[in-house]
């Protein structure tokens, strides 16, 4: 791994890190490479692209001071662990749950977490089903989600997990403006209020225009939501 690119990037973002974090990012690269060689885990990227697209991009909410160090947090549709694993590497005191619908990704995560010496819960489930379980519904300070669905659909997949007073953070691109009206309507139905978008720049990638869509959980999600698995995507609220 290009350690300098990672450490320069984190420093430019104002994100704190220590040598343990750097070592864990390097080990995570090796584990991702090992799995990608034997299965279709995630897009194969160059070392530098992986640092920018996965590690630095995932750290954005820490740069914004959006997540308390002891937050109870769920990563909905984490895939190979983004943004959840980088957030945990940078802030191992987070109480993290990594959720994904695909078993092979959850199996990978269990192995990767053990080898990285990190503690997190993993959950093999559809978000729509997990959010109806009492141990997960309205239990989290923060729900994060990247590259899983449109903004309106994401509201239904994340807000039911969040406690009143908590926050949903969704990674979005420059097209988010077109999704905002629908996202606001969906949030309203689900007991949330869109706070707005904040820039989430990755150092040296000024053309990306990545943003975080922030939605506050201002109320309680009605019992009817989330709807059954698949329905949020097929019939988005709003
Ligand atoms: N968040 C990761 C990232 O940014 O690299 C993975 C993105 S990948 C494009 C989308 C992931 O979301 C997949 O791993 C998929 O299995 C998961 N996913 C999609 N819909 C889901 C749902 N309703 N419940 C749980 N996981 C879901």
C-alpha of residue 195 to centroid of ligand 1, in Å: 24
Give residue 67's pLDDT.
Answer: 97
| Lowest mean pLDDT across 2-16, 30-44, 62-76 | 30-44
Give 60-109 pLDDT, tens digit per residue: 999 999 999 999 999 999 999 999 999 999 999 999 999 999 999 999 99
- The hierarchical CATH code for the domain 3-234 is 3.40.50.150
C-alpha of residue 172 to centroid of ligand 1, in Å: 14
202: which DSSP letter?
P
Q: Which atom of ligand 1 is found nearest the CA of 126?
A: 24
Give residue 122's pLDDT.
Answer: 98
C-alpha of residue 151 to centroid of ligand 1, in Å: 14
From CA 203, how far away is CA 12, in angstroms rounded? 7
* Ramachandran region, residue 178 (left: φ > 0; alpha: ψ -120 to 50; beta: rest): alpha
Q: Enumerate the domain spans of the chain.
A: 3-234
Give residue 42's pLDDT.
Answer: 85
Ligand 1, atom 18: closest residue by C-alpha: 77
Dihedral (C-alpha) 116, 120, 123, 128: value to the nearest 10 degrees? -130
Give 152-189 pLDDT, tens digit per residue: 999 999 999 999 999 999 999 989 999 999 999 999 99
Ligand 1, atom 13: closest residue by C-alpha: 79
Gyration radius from the chain CA atoms: 17
């Amino acid at each position: 791994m290009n350690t300098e690119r990672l450490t320069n990037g984190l420093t430019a973002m104002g994100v704190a890190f220590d040598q343990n974090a750097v070592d864990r990012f390097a080990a995570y690269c090796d584990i991702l490479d090992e799995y990608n060689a034997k299965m279709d885990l995630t897009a194969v990227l160059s070392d530098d692209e992986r640092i920018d697209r996965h590690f630095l991009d995932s750290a954005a909410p820490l740069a914004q001071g959006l997540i308390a160090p002891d937050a109870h947090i769920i990563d909905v549709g984490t895939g190979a662990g983004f943004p959840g694993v980088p957030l945990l590497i940078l802030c191992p005191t987070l109480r993290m749950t990594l959720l994904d619908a695909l078993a092979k990704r959850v199996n990978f995560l269990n192995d990767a977490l053990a080898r990285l010496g990190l503690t997190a819960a993993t959950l093999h489930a559809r978000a729509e089903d997990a959010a109806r379980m009492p141990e997960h519904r309205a239990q989290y300070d923060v729900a994060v989600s990247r590259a899983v669905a449109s903004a309106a659909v994401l509201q239904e997949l994340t807000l039911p997990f969040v406690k009143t007073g908590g926050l949903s953070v969704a990674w979005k691109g420059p097209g988010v403006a077109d999704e905002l009206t629908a996202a606001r309507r969906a949030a309203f139905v689900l007991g949330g209020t869109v706070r707005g978008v904040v820039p989430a720049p990755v150092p040296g990638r000024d053309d990306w225009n990545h943003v975080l869509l922030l939605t506050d959980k201002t109320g309680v999600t009605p019992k009817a939501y989330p709807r059954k698995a698949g329905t949020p995507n097929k019939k988005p609220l709003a």
